[in-house]
Structure 1
């Protein structure tokens, strides 16, 4: 696995990774457009994507049908440099009818403690908390 990061201008960089091209950037100021997310935001997205893939895969094996899953990842960072995360919270929002809470909890636990490599890399450096929310299907 690798990523190539190339400076474009200002604080905008183009990333080529696994056949995909995207930008990383920093907020340019009030109302100014940016070309992509910030690096630490991508770290949160990586955690959310990693655990979401695990959870859906595990629930498929458990034969738990989902109407939807949204993983919301938020973090607090300290004010001084380096502005590292001081805490990360992962909120799993499951959608479906008659979803078995025990199986949802088991899938999340397996992801967090066994399968998600991103979580395993982050957990020694920053506390990660989580919660499970179950909502009815939309529409």
Structure 2
């Protein structure tokens, strides 16, 4: 796996993944998310992939899944994350709480590579809520 990061202008950089996908990053947060914001997004996306996949395999009728990620950073430089909380909002028809709980737990404890990597240095926590689809 590889990535290339190229300076565009100011504090804006373009990252190109090994599979050819581009994403902008902005140290000033004027035109794109900062690298640290994208770390949070990566944790939320990685975990969400797991949760949705596990729920689909359990034949749950999921119509939406949102992961709200909150991070706390150290006051000193480098301002690393000290705590990250992922809250999953799963929407669907008659989605069973036991399946959502299991999906979130499996993602946190076994499958999410990003969260597993971060938990070596960051206090990670997870929660979920279920909303009934119309």
Q: TM-score when scaled to structure 2?
A: 0.93
Correspondence 1:9-88 to 2 at 5 A: 9-17=9-17, 18-27=19-28, 34-88=30-84
Distance 1:19 1:64 in 2: 33
What is the CA RMSD across the aligned residues, in angstroms? Answer: 1.3
TM-superposed CA distance for 1:27, in Å, is 2.6
Q: Which structure would you say has the larger Rg? A: 1
1:121 corresponds to 2:117: yes
1:97 corresponds to 2:98: no
Distance 1:108 1:61 in 2: 14
Distance 1:22 1:67 in 2: 27
Unaligned regions of 5+ residues in structure 2, if any? none
Count of aligned pairs between the two proteins: 133
Please name the residue that 2:4 is paired with: 4
1:131 corresponds to 2:132: no
Q: Which runs of 4+ in 1 moved over 6 A?
A: none
Higher strand fraction (1 or 2):
2
Q: TM-score when scaled to structure 1?
A: 0.90
Distance 1:124 1:16 in 2: 27
Q: Is the 8 A contact 2:24 2:33 kept in 1?
A: yes
Distance 2:75 2:33 in 1: 20
TM-superposed CA distance for 1:98, in Å, is 2.1
Unaligned regions of 5+ residues in structure 1, if any? 29-33
Please name the residue that 2:107 is paired with: 111
TM-superposed CA distance for 1:38, in Å, is 0.4
